[in-house]
């Protein structure tokens, strides 16, 4: 399957999903005027990728500065798809890059993943 690459824009994440390397990176900010228009093609791509039931390790890397509520719903939707694959193959890991564990965005992310049984780690940046 081909990579999914979306350059970051003023109100949308940068997306770099590389299935051959097993690295799925989401970076930047997300507050699109129409979240469905931005995220639905990503959800479709992830569905297609996961339809082959990949067993190789998958790392979902978040280097995010900000996301709004409508974006968080789609982030959760995407993570739910990966969660289903993880339940079968125990192969998904989430990596969150942050400056501070007291960061409000980090707390929002933790709330998002609390119902998903996916291993995660936090990488503290300077």
Interval 8-47: pLDDT, tens: 999 999 999 999 999 999 999 999 999 999 999 999 999 9
pTM for this entry: 0.92
| Domain contains 83 | yes
Look at the block and give the residue holding tokens 């990503």: 42
**Residues of the domain holding 118:** 40-124
Q: Residue 28 has what pLDDT?
A: 95
| Domain contains 52 | yes
> With DSSP H G I counted as helix, E B as strand and the rest as coil, what are the percentages for the chain, rounded to 5?
40, 30, 30
| Domain contains 77 | yes
Helices 69-89 and 104-113: crossing angle in degrees, nearest 10, is: 50
Over residues 60-75, the pLDDT tens digits come to 999 999 999 999 999 9
Separation CA 113–CA 85 (nearest Å): 15
* Average pLDDT estimate for 48-61: 95
Q: Residue 102 has what pLDDT?
A: 65
Residue 58 predicted with pLDDT over 80: yes
| Domain contains 115 | yes
Number of domains composing the chain: 1
């Amino acid at each position: 399957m081909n990579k999914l690459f979306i350059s970051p824009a003023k109100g949308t994440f940068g997306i770099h999903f590389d299935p051959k390397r097993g690295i799925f990176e989401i970076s930047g900010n997300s507050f699109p005027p129409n979240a469905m228009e931005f995220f639905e093609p990503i959800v479709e791509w992830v569905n297609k990728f996961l339809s082959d039931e990949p067993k190789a390790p998958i790392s979902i890397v978040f280097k995010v500065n900000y996301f709004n509520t409508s974006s968080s719903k789609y982030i959760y939707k995407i993570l739910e798809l990966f969660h289903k694959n993880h339940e079968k193959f125990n192969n998904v890991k989430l990596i969150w890059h942050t400056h501070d564990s007291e960061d409000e965005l980090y707390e929002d992310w933790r709330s998002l993943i609390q119902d998903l049984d996916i291993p995660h780690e936090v990488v503290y940046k300077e």
